[in-house]
């Protein structure tokens, strides 16, 4: 299960992309420097609740709708691949900045920080995909949720140190890290598609 936890942690980390959220967190909390800790804590706790709830009920919801897990793996893999392409060509950062500008208000902790920036569609789909990789057992569910909580905790810590980290990495450093994560996410998304095709019996 340790190997599965590491896989889940890396996958969720790539999807949420905490370093890529740093500039947005800073811009959304300008003028509220003294309240940054509270905003960061609320945003991360709400994101944990949303993703955990989706992890528990996501597969049952798909069964109710009539969507098979192999089909969801393929669609989820394609969604993650599109996210990887956005990361590689810096389109994801621009889209997130636009969302932040459109939804900016006095307290951005719920919207847009918690959702859709942290607990977005990609993160929700990833929760279901990872849990289904281990046949949806209770143990695998808690392992994925533990990995998600760990990633969100890292996000919270980065939010707390957002200003010095941004100065240390600089715009170029953040772009390099984002592109590296995009490459890894592209590879993981292809694996999800391959697993889905195997589940449908298209490939052996």
How far, in Å, CA of 71 to CA of 68, rounded? 5
DSSP type of residue 105? -
For residue 98, give the nearest of 10, 24, 30 by alpha carbon.
24
- 17-52, pLDDT tens digit by residue? 898 888 778 767 766 778 889 999 999 999 999 999
Distances (CA, A) of 99 to 144, 171, 176: 27, 20, 22
Residue 16's Cα: distance from chain center in Å?
3
Task: Flag whether pLDDT at 16 surpasses 60.
Answer: yes
pLDDT > 70: percent of the chain: 89
How far, in Å, CA of 200 to CA of 121, rounded? 24
The pair phi, psi for residue 188, each rounded to 5°, is -65, -40
Task: Flag whether pLDDT at 58 surpasses 60.
Answer: yes
Look up tokens 């006095």; give the residue: 106
- 169-199, pLDDT tens digit by residue? 777 887 787 788 788 888 888 988 998 899 8
What average pLDDT does this structure show over 58-66? 86
What average pLDDT does this structure show over 58-75? 85
Retrieve residue 190's tokens: 């292809």
- 122-138, pLDDT tens digit by residue? 899 899 999 988 777 88
Distances (CA, A) of 150 to 15, 64, 71, 143: 14, 30, 28, 11
pTM value is 0.76
């Amino acid at each position: 299960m340790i190997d599965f936890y590491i896989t889940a942690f890396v996958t969720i980390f790539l999807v949420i992309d905490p370093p890529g959220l740093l500039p947005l967190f800073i811009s959304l909390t300008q003028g509220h420097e003294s309240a940054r800790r509270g905003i960061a804590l609320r945003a991360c706790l709400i994101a944990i609740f949303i993703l955990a709830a989706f992890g528990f009920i996501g597969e049952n919801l798909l069964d109710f709708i009539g969507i098979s897990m192999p089909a969801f793996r393929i669609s989820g893999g394609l969604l993650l691949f599109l996210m990887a392409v956005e990361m590689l060509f810096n389109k994801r950062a621009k889209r997130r900045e636009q969302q932040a500008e459109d939804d900016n208000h006095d307290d951005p902790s719920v919207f847009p920080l918690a959702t859709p920036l942290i607990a977005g569609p990609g993160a929700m789909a990833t929760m279901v995909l990872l849990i289904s990789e281990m046949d949806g057992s209770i143990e695998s569910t808690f392992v994925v949720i533990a990995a998600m909580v760990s990633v969100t905790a890292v996000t919270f810590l980065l939010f707390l140190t957002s200003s010095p980290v941004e100065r240390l990495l600089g715009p170029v450093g953040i772009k390099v890290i984002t592109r590296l994560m995009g490459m890894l996410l592209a590879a993981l998304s292809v694996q999800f598609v391959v697993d889905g095709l195997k589940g449908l019996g298209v490939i052996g």
